[in-house]
Amino acid sequence: MDGVQPTDLRADCASCFGLCCVALPFARSADFAVDKAGGQPCVNLREDFRCGIHAQLRERGFPGCTVFDCQGAGQKVSQITFGGRDWRGDPGTARQMFAVFPVVRGLHELLGYLTQALTLDATRPIAAELRAAVDRVEALTLGSADELERCDVAAVRAEVSELLLRASELARAGLRGANHRGADLMGARLRRADLRGANLRGAYLIAADLRGADLRTADLIGADLRDADLRGADLTGGLFLTQAQLDSAKGDASTRLPTGFRRPRHWPRA
């Protein structure tokens, strides 16, 4: 790729100052055992920025932490934007570091979608536009803390979304998939449903029964798959799926995954 070096979108917690455990707020719920305000360190965060209950997150009531993925934003903000200065040793950085983290995370999410679109044969007609968008978003992530704080991620997202939609339509052309964009399918009975090439962008599939469903080449961007039952489902070629979405769902050894995804550790092996 021309221009700046491609970003590593895999989280590297060892190079991060625990930003997801401090910067983000969370409410007491089935996902988090306690309330926490944005900017307040989690009670389980150790002095060395590691999680004190990492091996027992689900058992201790923090399953939400096991599905969160900063997509490499944490180490970028810690090591590049702030040059390795941490919010404990240099408290003057804290406010801006916590403000900038969700901005970079949003940009990295877009980079993940764009680079995924670039891997598809069907998107060759718009490959140059996709590459240009990757370069533009990548450059934004490398801005100064002040520039990042001013960055309008929603505007960048709107611009990139139009391109991603075209990529999706090219990839799903000829499949005549159902259109469930933004649909409320919470708890829906979709066992063995034919959803090949379906538009499930932003659909609410929380706790949906998708056992044995055919989701090949379905567009799953932003779909809420929390507790969706994917046992026996075929997600091969699924578009814009993220590891975090997969981690939030239920599945097993019979769930067929797109290339490059790992089977969540909490899924039964056999």
Give the phi and the psi of residue 207 in degrees, each rounded to 5. 60, 20
> Is 65 a residue that touches ligand SF4 (CB under 6 A)?
yes
d(CA 5, CA 246): 28
Question: How many angstroms from the chain centroid is the CA of residue 24?
Answer: 15
In the complex with ligand SF4, which residue's Cβ is closer, 104 or 198?
104
- To the nearest whole angstrom, how small is the minimum distance from the Cβ of residue 67 to ligand SF4? 11
d(CA 231, CA 268): 10
> Which residues, 6+ apart, have CB-to-CB distance to 46 below 8 Å?
52
Out of 9, 19, 42, 206, the residue judged to bind ligand SF4 by CB under 6 A = 42
Q: Please, which residue, 58 or 256, has the CB nearer to ligand SF4?
A: 58
The answer to whether 237 and 214 are in contact (CB under 8 A) is no
Q: In the bound complex, what is the minimum distance in angstroms from residue 255's beta carbon to ligand SF4?
A: 25
Stretch of 42-50, 92-100, 159-167, 227-235 contacting ligand SF4, by CB under 6 A: 42-50
Binding of ligand SF4 at residue 45 (CB under 6 A)? yes
Q: Is 78 in the site for ligand SF4 (CB under 6 A)?
A: no
Residues contacting ligand SF4: total by CB under 6 A: 8
Query: With contact defined as beta carbons under 8 Å apart, do 175 and 197 qualify?
Result: yes
Length of the chain, please? Answer: 270
CB 157 within 8 A of CB 110: yes
> CA dist 269 to 10, 107, 192, 251, Å?
24, 34, 21, 9
Please, which residue, 54 or 150, has the CB nearer to ligand SF4?
54
Residue with tokens 């814009």: 240
Closest CA to 238 of 264, 219, 213: 219
The CB-of-252 to ligand SF4 minimum distance in angstroms stands at 25
- 21 belongs to the binding site for ligand SF4 (CB under 6 A): yes
Site for ligand SF4 in 118-177 (CB under 6 A): none
Tokens of 239: 């578009």
Given the rule CB under 6 A, which of 38-46, 73-81, 85-93, 121-129 is the region that contacts ligand SF4? 38-46
Q: With binding defined as CB under 6 A, does residue 101 bind ligand SF4?
A: no
Q: How far is the CB of 150 from ligand SF4 (least distance, A)?
A: 28
* Among the listed residues 9, 17, 19, 62, the single contact to ligand SF4 using CB under 6 A: 62
How many other C-beta atoms can be found within 10 angstroms of the C-beta atom of residue 231? 19
What's the min distance (Å) between Cβ of 110 and ligand SF4?
24
- Interface residue list for ligand SF4 (CB under 6 A): 21, 42, 44-45, 51, 53, 62, 65
